[in-house]
């Protein structure tokens, strides 16, 4: 899959393999890439980590967009109406979008793993530092620019809150399609317990792969039904014009070296 030039700056040498670019990657420094395998027994309990305090306003939800990589539920981030504070974060971070990564089968699909355990999918809630920067595009290039909450998905009972999103997906089947999507509370996708998490310094898992992310990975997963996840797989990487349609599956990056980083835990 050719990545478009805007996303793949020359700094990052990518070997583009269909459908997901994998392979060797040369990133300047490149010593804090994501995702990683979280070795539970190697994580270090940090008693100074505060509880996470997300405060989201469903009224800031605006649209769903198929960007040819995942589907993004986008939020109006022109004010501090939907924010994330606390946890490992010193500043105020604004929610700008959430998206998922998933596999073609329920056996794999997540980007992070826990002691090598794969999950069928992973939710990423993307926030940018509104104390230090004025826009997401600026924060994406800065060391302390982004905070992403990761939540693992398991196959089980139907997730009632997710269904509104699942019902909207056929409208964004093709790459570059957008549909209005309002009044969705992203907090409904968080697990019951958000006090137990791992946190580490990492990067975006897709181009531009910038090392700007404070990752906050929830210990507790959420459950979605087999049928709900199957609708994710009905999406396409390809636009309506392309002759050959490719199912949007396996849109995850392979794990990256830890390079001596410490993963902290908020729990013992």
Binding-site partner at residue 112 among ligand L4W, Zn ion, none, CB < 5 to 8 Å by type? none
Q: b/e string for 143-153 if b means 16 or more Cβ within 10 A?
A: ebbbbbbbbbb
Of 43, 113, 130, 205, the one binding ligand L4W by CB under 6 A = 205
Nearer to Zn ion, 67 or 247 (CB): 67
What residues between 146 and 165 interact with ligand L4W by CB under 6 A? 148
253 binds Zn ion (CB under 5 A): no
In this structure, what token pair is assigned to residue 23? Answer: 């392979």
Contact 121, 188 (CB under 8 A): no
Handedness of CA 198, 57, 127, 46 (dihedral sign): negative
> CB nearest Zn ion: which residue?
124
Distance from C-alpha of 69 to C-alpha of 92, rounded to nearest angstrom: 28
124 binds ligand L4W (CB under 6 A): yes
Which of 206, 216, 253 has the alpha carbon at shortest distance from 35?
253
Binding-site partner at residue 161 among Zn ion, ligand L4W, none, CB < 5 to 8 Å by type? none
CB of 121 to ligand L4W, least distance (A): 13
177 binds ligand L4W (CB under 6 A): no
Distance from C-alpha of 174 to C-alpha of 77, rounded to nearest angstrom: 25
Residues that bind Zn ion (CB under 5 A): 124
Residues that bind ligand L4W (CB under 6 A): 124, 126, 137, 140, 148, 204-206, 208
């Amino acid at each position: 899959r050719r990545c478009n030039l805007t996303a793949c700056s020359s700094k990052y040498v990518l070997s583009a393999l269909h459908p997901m670019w994998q392979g060797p990657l040369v990133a300047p420094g490149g010593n804090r890439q994501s995702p990683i395998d979280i070795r539970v027994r190697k994580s270090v309990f940090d008693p100074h980590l505060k509880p996470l305090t997300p405060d989201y306003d469903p009224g800031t939800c605006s649209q769903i967009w198929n960007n040819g990589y995942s589907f993004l539920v986008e939020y109006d981030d022109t004010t501090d109406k939907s924010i994330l504070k606390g946890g490992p974060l010193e500043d105020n971070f604004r929610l700008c979008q959430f998206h998922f990564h998933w596999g073609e089968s329920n056996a794999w699909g997540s980007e992070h793993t826990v002691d090598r355990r794969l999950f069928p999918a992973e939710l990423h809630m993307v926030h940018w530092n509104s104390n230090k920067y004025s826009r997401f595009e600026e924060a994406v290039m800065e060391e302390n620019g982004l905070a992403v909450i990761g939540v693992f998905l398991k196959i089980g009972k139907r997730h009632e809150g997710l269904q509104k999103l699942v019902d909207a997906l056929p409208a964004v089947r093709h790459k570059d399609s957008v549909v209005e999507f309002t009044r969705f509370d992203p907090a409904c996708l968080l697990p019951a317990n958000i006090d137990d998490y791992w946190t580490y310094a990492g990067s975006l898992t897709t181009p531009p792969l910038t090392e700007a992310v404070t990752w906050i990975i929830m210990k507790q997963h959420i459950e979605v039904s087999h049928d709900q996840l199957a609708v994710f797989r009905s999406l396409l990487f390809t636009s309506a014009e392309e002759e050959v349609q490719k199912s949007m599956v396996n849109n995850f990056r392979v794990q990256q070296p830890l390079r001596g980083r410490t993963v902290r835990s908020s729990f013992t």
